[in-house]
Amino acid sequence: MLKIRIIPCLDVKNGKVVKGTKFVNLKYAGDPVKQAQIYDKQGADELCFLDITASSDKRNILYNVVKKTAQKCFMPLTVGGGVRSIQDIRKLLLCGADKVSINTAAIKNPELIKKSSNKFGNQCIVVAIDAKQIKKNKWQIYTHGGRKKTGIDAIEWAKKMENLGAGEILLTSMDKDGTKSGFDLELTKKISKSISIPVVASGGVGNIQHLIDGIKIGKASAVLAASIFHYGKYTVGQVKNKMKQKGILVRI
Amino acid sequence: MKIALIDYGSGNLQSAYKALELAGSYKKSKIFLTSKSKDLLKIDKIVLPGVGTFADCMKGLKSLPGMIDTLNEIVLQKKKPFLGICVGMQLLASEGKEKGNHKGLGWIAGKVIKIKKNKKKKVPHMGWNTVKVISKHPILKKKKFESYFVHSYNFICRDKKNILATCDYQQNITAIIGKENIIGTQFHPEKSQKVGLEILKNFICWTY
């Protein structure tokens, strides 16, 4: 059977990992390629790079990071942040990315999802959704790294993206992100049950139980976390062993 | 040992190149990235990567002058070992049904059809699944192993003998196909960490 995926995420700015730089743990000196190799050795099922570089003229740095990582880590890579066009996607794929995550551009231009999935296959197009709860059972999506409100309903949007050809939804709860209090399980479950493409739960992981809940309660196909891995609180292997004990199908 | 990796604009080209290079390093094999059909006349083995839609990949392959004729000659007549990866494997079928009907290379009889999905069976089939080997092959040393899959279409072989391995996703998924000097993997060995590199190494060592 298909295993649940554990995905460490690296936030990259100007070619450096940004989370953790304020911390003293020098093992993580901020080189994304080195950090990717650590996760590779620990048995991560996929890696995710999110580029938060603001200026587009520094984009080439990201391409180099992806290229170097793909030369050393023979594992699946998803890359997101600032992806706007078919050309951007092609460049990332040629650098060694397997999947490309699109957020703001999907809202500005939903046709991009259709065109790119026709070109590169659905499996390669991930739509990232940043959602915020506005009232009970109601979430809306935000763009520009959570700064811009769109008024679009998150569940409807996920369905629309599936119809246009997205192969996966990377779902981040803005209410939970950075809180270490666990995923928004209601939101995750609602979206997982509304669509037939995989959902990656993201935002809020502080311990292993949160990851387990994301799968068991949130019904996600994969769980993504940054800080619990980055700060060395757990290795991917420790997480997987614990999840296995709790009856979750993981690749050990 | 010279191995050609066909460059027809497929997304996983670089990863496949690096993985083959590492897998073949101890054998001093040389990996050639090429889009020229005449280059194939001097090589020992061929790898066809593939990421994208069936139609788009087939179009890419057709756009290389003389490539399909040369492949037919080298693989079907000269029997040089051939490995197709993901869509590179699917292209071997008679027909692909991704976004319309499209003719494939027709080396292994069968068609490539969409995996049926529902809310509990998500498609793409994405992630690590257990590959079960059902027919012995020199490049498959283990009976069971985990590999990385990411695809929405399944290769249905007309002759079941051509199925070397399957995996379970609430239905049988064709994981590896083979016929004489031809082999194809639905999963990505270049993305399957140690297990995948092992398969590439076995392919490089394989004498047909």
Residue A26 has pLDDT above 60, yes or no: no
* B25 lies within 8 A of chain A by CB: no
Residue A41 has pLDDT above 90, yes or no: yes
Residue A24 has pLDDT above 50, yes or no: no
Query: Is B95:B127 a contact under the CB 8 Å cutoff?
Result: no
User: Inter-axis angle of helices A111-120 and A154-164, to 10 degrees?
Assistant: 40
Mutate to test the interface with B, among A123, A219, A224, A251 (most CBs of B within 10 A): A123
- Other Cβ atoms less than 10 A from the Cβ of B25: the count is 12
Confidence of residue B200 (pLDDT cuts 50, 70, 90): very high
Q: For residues B40 and A1, give the distance between their C-alpha atoms in angstroms, rounded to a whole number.
A: 39
Confidence of residue A19 (pLDDT cuts 50, 70, 90): low
In chain A, residues with a C-beta closer than 8 Å to the C-beta of B126 are 2, 5, 123, 167-168, 198, 221
* Cβ–Cβ below 8 Å for B193 and A75: yes
pLDDT digits (tens, 9 = 90+) for A6-18: 999 998 888 888 8
The pLDDT, as a whole number, for residue A58 is 76
Query: What DSSP state is assigned to residue A3?
Result: P
The pLDDT, as a whole number, for residue B28 is 82
Query: What stretch of H or E contains B22?
Result: helix B13-23
Confidence of residue A106 (pLDDT cuts 50, 70, 90): very high
Q: Are strands A168-173 and A148-153 parallel, antiparallel or unpaired?
A: unpaired
Give the torsion sign (CA, A225, A227, A230, A231): negative
Class of CATH domain B2-205: alpha beta
Q: Which residue has the tokens 């990996």?
A: B31
Tokens found for residue B178: 């083979």
Whole-angstrom CA distances from B11 to A24, A119, B6, B105 are 38, 11, 12, 20
In chain B, residues with a C-beta closer than 8 Å to the C-beta of A36 are none
Query: Residues B130-141: what's their mean pLDDT?
Result: 96
Query: Residues B98-125: what's their mean pLDDT?
Result: 95
Residue A20 has pLDDT above 80, yes or no: no
Mutate to test the interface with A, among B5, B8, B15 (most CBs of A within 10 A): B15
- Lowest mean pLDDT of A117-121, B9-13, B127-131, name the range: B9-13
Mean pLDDT estimate for chain A: 91
User: How is chain A split into domains, by residue range?
Assistant: 5-245
Tokens found for residue A111: 């046709």
CATH number at A5-245: 3.20.20.70
Residue A149 has pLDDT above 70, yes or no: yes
Q: Which residues contact A197 (CB under 8 A, 6 or more apart)?
A: A122, A162, A166, A167, A168, A169, B117, B122, B123, B124
Partner residue opposite B151 with nearest CB, options A123, A196, A197: A123
Which residues are registered as beta bridge partners of B129?
A: B147
Partner residue opposite A3 with nearest CB, options B18, B129, B197: B129
The pLDDT, as a whole number, for residue A25 is 41
Total residues belonging to chain A: 252
Residue B90 has pLDDT above 90, yes or no: yes
* Cβ–Cβ below 8 Å for B146 and A3: yes
Partner residue opposite B124 with nearest CB, options A4, A74, A122: A122
* B132 lies within 8 A of chain A by CB: no
Mean pLDDT estimate for chain B: 95
Query: What stretch of H or E contains A88?
Result: helix A86-95
Residue B27 has pLDDT above 70, yes or no: yes
The pLDDT, as a whole number, for residue A54 is 65
Whole-angstrom CA distances from B109 to B11, B52, B94, B153 are 26, 21, 5, 16
Confidence of residue B99 (pLDDT cuts 50, 70, 90): confident
Q: For residues A48 and A201, give the distance between their C-alpha atoms in angstroms, rounded to a whole number.
A: 13
The pLDDT, as a whole number, for residue A166 is 98
What is the number of alpha carbons within 13 Å of residue A20 lying toward its C-beta? 23
Query: Residues B139-165: what's their mean pLDDT?
Result: 97
pLDDT digits (tens, 9 = 90+) for A69-99: 999 999 999 999 889 999 999 999 989 999 9
- Other Cβ atoms less than 10 A from the Cβ of B206: the count is 15
Residue B120 has pLDDT above 90, yes or no: no
Share of chain A above pLDDT 90, in %: 76
* B12 or A166, which is more confident: A166
User: How is chain B split into domains, by residue range?
Assistant: 2-205
Query: Residues A160-171: what's their mean pLDDT?
Result: 98
* The one-letter amino acid at A47: L
Q: Which residues contact A140 (CB under 8 A, 6 or more apart)?
A: A131, A132, A134, A149, A150, A151, A152, A153, A154
**CA of B135, closest CA in chain A: separation in Å?**
20
Residue A27 has pLDDT above 50, yes or no: no
